[in-house]
Structures are given as C-alpha cells and as structure tokens.
Amino acid sequence: MTLIDYTKIEIRENGEEMVDLATLGFLLQPTYFEQGLAPDPRIFLRKATAEKLLAAQASLPAGLRFKVWDAYRSRDVQNNVYQRYWQDLQAQHPDWDEEKIKLEVGKFVTPPYLKEKVPPHATGGTVDLTIVDADGVELDMGTEYDFFGAEAAPFFYEIYKTKPAVTTNRRILRSVMEAQGFTLEQDEWWHFDYGNQIWALKSGKPFAIYGEAKIT
C-alpha cells in the first residue's frame, strides 16, 4: 500500500481526550491564529500524543526545548490553509491550470472536505514543531515553517550535504520524535504523526487509533 492510500487504513477510534498544550508548559506560537486563519489561539493534541511529546522534549540535549506551531486543526481551518496556499500558487504561476494547482497544493496540504479522507491534523495526532535554545531562538532548520518546496523535505540537506548544521538540527528533532513512536512526514521536516491513519500505515500497524476529533 502506498502512502497515497492511507485512507484505506481502518480507524478504531479510542475516544481519547484532547488536551490544551498550554496546560503542559509547552512553548507555543499559534501561527494560523496569528495569520487570521484560525479563530482560537489554543493548541490541542490527544492526551497520549501530548505525553509522548513531553517525553521527546525531555530527551533533547540540555538547554533545548520544543516550540509548537500547530497541532489539532478543524476542517474549517484546514480549508483556510488550503485556500491560502491555492491563492499563493495561483498568483505565482498564472500559467498553471486548475488541475496543476490542485496537484501542487495537495502535495503539502490535505484537501479539507473529502469525507473519505480525514486530514491528519483533524485527528489531534499531528504536530508541527521545531527546537529552540534557552533564549527561545529557533535552531536553523534550513527553511521557515510552511515553506512548501523541496528544501523542506527532512533529508534534503543530508542528500546535498550543503548545510551540516541544518542536517544535525533536523536529525536531533527526528531522533527524539521517532524514539517516542512518531512518524515523519516525507515533505515537511516540522510535521510528525501519531495514532492516525498515516502513522498506522508508516508504522505497519493494522489500524489507526485516532479518527476525526472535535474540540467541545
């Protein structure tokens, strides 16, 4: 089964609660709220996923911690992100037809309203994050958050061997997250999954434990 077929993975929703990451002491920067794409500045994850994130943070080298940009994302917020990227590409490539734009947008942002496809962020099992130092300064990861280009791929700089410091920083992030059972997104160094269909597919699990979540 290819990654594109992740929707074929069965979901056995475990009903796990959502928790506000602010209550666990994480450094948060609610990027989509700041950009006017989300109505709520709070950032939520499923309880077990948040606990794994705490454990991953605790295993970072001394003086380092996480900064979380995004986690749970409703379909409405997903649509706002999708439409913004669509508009950006349309402006950058006026010669592209609708099918080409749809293809390119879909490489980085899951279509929001397909009933048969639960966007990973909508499960509460996906997190976008980076590492900061003791002063809150982000480590150099080679690109900004939500940079939609080839350089955002986790292993880009390992392959081209152009930025050793970036390679080291991405390896640190990858290693502490994977040690807690998170799986890595192939196109975005900042994106990690746990419990959802993509996680199940990449981990060889027979089913996902998280379906679509709601904040009440």
Residue 179 has pLDDT above 90, yes or no: yes
For the chain, the domain total comes to: 1
Amino acid residing at 215? I
Phi, psi for residue 181 in degrees, rounded to 5: 95, 5
User: Taking the model in full, what pTM does it have?
Assistant: 0.93
Identify the band that residue 1 occupies on the pLDDT scale cut at 50, 70 and 90: very low
- Residue 100 resides in a domain: no
Half-sphere exposure of 135 (CA within 13 A, CB side): 2
Average pLDDT, the chain: 94
Is residue 16 within 8 Å of residue 210, measured between CB atoms? yes
Which amino acid makes up residue 105? V
Cα 132 to Cα 115: distance, rounded to the nearest angstrom? 37
Structural domain contains residue 151: yes
- Is residue 92 in a domain? no
Domain limits for position 57: 3-75+118-208
The pLDDT-based confidence of 4 (bands split at 50, 70, 90) is low
Query: Averaged over 21-25, what is the pLDDT?
Result: 97
pLDDT interval class at 32 (50, 70, 90): very high
Which position has the token pair 């069965």?
A: 10
pLDDT of residue 114: 83
